[in-house]
Amino acid sequence: MKESGATKVSLIPGTDSITQVLSLVMYVFFIGFIFYGQRIQMYIMIREVENSLHKLRHIKEEGKKTAIDVIKELGKPTTDPSSRIDRYLEYFTIAPQSMDPAGIVAKLDHILDTRDERLKEEVKLMAPELQNDEVQINNLENTLEAAMALNFIYKVVRHYYIQGKKTLSLYVIMQLQMILPMVMKEAEAYASALKAFAYGQPIGDGAGPLVAGKLMHGYETRKLAKDCVMASVPIEGRTAIIIKAEGPGGNVGKPGDAVEAAIEENKGKIACLIMIDAGLKLEGEAVGEVAEGIGAAIGGPGVDAFKIEEKLTKYKIRNYAIIIKQDIGDAVSPMRKEINDSIDKAIEQVKLMIRERTKEGDKVIIVGVGNSIGVGQ
């Protein structure tokens, strides 16, 4: 007679002890992840942000070192400029009160002029050997501004990292971690820009001035507004007033004032204004692609765009724009071959625009917008 035995049921699957131990560990991890998954995820994110912050600190310190080395090499200071540079990197600008928007453009214009003069004075104190060399003073100012941007990026990332770590806020850390790839890309671009500014190499943002420089090459130039030059050039049977920032020092000039002056000199008898500038490309678009549009093609705080639009509206002058596409990294880094190759295409586009949209004998204004570092007249 056979004995019937009851089947033993185990909560932990597996026939041997090793399999059962592994299964138990998996259960523990699964239950732990249910209760502490968010906290674990946050610590992983904090670690990633921490690594990026270390890289940012290194980039910032290298930027500062480059600025110090260039000032010592070119400016021949009698004392160590490090402490003065530290103070420069912490410099800030307070925007004007905008509660009553009437007149805010003039206030902002004044503040930006004061800032520019103050920074130039500081550079001259740091580099006494270059007191009368405006080109090198402008280049050094641009170098220090790139180092200032790196310092600011590092401090902002560090602020949110510490804030998120103190409060253990998943959402603060998560947002920081999500934008870090773009922040790192921008920081690396500024790091690349430092050497370009220090040694006067053309950058991507100089595409507009390079177009204007090629058009005015060989013609007599004169100062038109602060840090801006112009030349009168015959193009396609029309008279073109070509305007750009004065080079080859790192300079963007005041194109708003220059356009205003050119229009008033000609009593508003201008057929059209054509502006050429670097334009931000979308991912998937080719670097150096040339596109045509309408409006004031100029970045910055908006002061120059406002002045140009006001004058164009007053005299009913049409405003055309040409942009040379590039990303933020290309704009502040040494000029890429693709951007340089696109200059002649942009010039042909300008000539085509003049032929199709104006009549022989007309006057047109062409403005090359951007930083003229490394780009002469």
Whole-Å CA distances, 77 to 19, 63, 128, 248: 73, 19, 6, 24
Q: Which residues contact 184 (CB under 8 A, 6 or more apart)?
A: 52, 55, 56
Integer Cα distance of 288 and 278 in angstroms? 9
Q: Pick one of 3.40.50.1470, 3.30.465.10, 3.40.190.80, 3.30.1490.20 as the CATH number of 204-368.
A: 3.40.50.1470
Integer Cα distance of 341 and 347 in angstroms? 11
Task: Identify the residue with better confidence: 179 or 100.
Answer: 179
The confidence score (pLDDT) of residue 1 equals 43
pLDDT in tens, 293-351: 999 999 888 899 999 999 999 999 999 999 999 988 888 888 999 999 999 999 999 99
pLDDT in tens, 205-264: 999 999 999 999 889 889 888 889 999 999 989 999 999 998 888 888 899 999 999 999
* Mean pLDDT for all residues in the chain: 86
Integer Cα distance of 220 and 239 in angstroms? 14
Q: Which residues contact 172 (CB under 8 A, 6 or more apart)?
A: 160, 163, 164
pLDDT in tens, 128-183: 888 778 888 888 888 888 899 999 999 999 999 999 888 888 888 888 888 999 89
Domain-wise residue ranges, the chain: 44-198, 204-368
pLDDT in tens, 51-86: 999 999 999 999 899 888 888 888 888 888 888 888
